[in-house]
Structure 1
């Protein structure tokens, strides 16, 4: 749990908050915590404002914050998308009187809580107003956690709910949710409800209950191929077809995964670490970690051959040549055959 969350839960509420980052789970949980600990019952209807700075000027936000609360002690004002504090260009040409915000930050009212929500990686630190906001506000970073941090998030949630879960099961949950905090916490909530009576979540529960995304199924399909388990790979493929997934969409994701394997192999040859490769390719570090393991099972020639064949199948599918479902099935057999040859 974030230290700022503990402060909010203990009713140590600050006048100004800044949530910065792109992790939805942290953003949404922080907003809900503020609502739950500042406003009570019907107060939300009268004393809560959720405003978009892409649609209205900062003066409206300040006006809301300076308005006296109605039937309550506090007002809560959410100010979303303060792009004027970033290097990003606003889609809408809303003019902001930043002098009014500067004056408010220097002397905020004691009956309102103003929370800025910036869904960006960082603000423009060169701007005077950005420096002032970060100095006067309580900053909550909504950044994507790495693998170890994600496991700590899961462990904290389990402890909070008096639930048990082995490290093996936690690791599997992280894998099946591709290291995504929001997805992992949503799936964990479902697991805790299912295992409420036993108070223990097993790896079997994780395997049977966690919903695999299409991308995750493609990853598992390749894992089966690496293990020379053609029947397992085909089972996953047939299950996807039963779920009405289009062969051309499955093909696109297989191609994307092979491109990633090829790029990682090339970057590793150039001395890139996994973290550096993730940054360069703009891919989640956990996905890079798993893909790096897969890449080690293919030669550079095998990857290039696979990409060439996938491009041919893509063209054939788009021009209506042959049976789409069968083409991918045959690709899996060809891939198996090429790997057995260890070109």
Structure 2
């Protein structure tokens, strides 16, 4: 049932036509009105409300407040799109900038390139207290124990302790301070979230890790070798007439080989901890794995040589253990006839390089 239509009211003269709204306002005898397009609001005159628009906070409703004066008019000759008048500042940057073949900024690479990454990693390494604690403890253990043991046996029958072998206790304990430094240099950034900031500033991850590896390896090689060399000199001063235990006086090459070998071996242990930390991203796990590799084969070898059936296996474990590789630098390996000291250093370097390569590949493939 349809509703009867209301009659249309007659339109008064001068009254505007109502807009067309979905069929309303029209009826029999009244044609529909076309919709009226909205008109843009009138723009204020040039200079009203400040040069280029209304004052901060929006325009005024009604009259401006007392004391308000519009900004000064535009300079003579100004027109949008026209050249700047005389005396106006030139456009920046000037035409032709930058010159052909030159980057637009200080560096064409984000993060400052490789040397910028090296500088950043050097700053980060020396900005944390753990670096000073670990290196200070390593130097103290190597030098203080060497000096103390040299004073204790000075002037006595010290054939078991030549001035080269006096360095062994300090080096064995000093390596325990190098391992945490290598692990913390990378895992601390993951635990604090700084690694994300680093990769945002320098998206080339392999470049960042290459710079970090170079900085850490340089610091460990220089400081570990310096400590072992100074310890060697101190023990030589305290025990000037001592021999190697076989009757031969140590030559300069014997001393250099022992000090350099011990320093390089300690630095590689720190780099092994760094490589494992890059791979697993966990501080305690990295330190535990390296300490396990350091002591476990030696302990298992000692147990295995006590049984006739496992004695060959135990001898191999002792010959290739990290502890045997370290003391072999001083001419006193636990098992004679094994690989030479620099052979063990080469094996440790190869293992460290392989683990580090795996860590670099994992870092490039996964999220930080």
The TM-score range, normalised by the shorter chain, is under 0.3
TM-score, structure 2 normalization: 0.19
Higher gyration radius (CA): 2
- Determine which structure has the larger helix proportion and give its number: 1
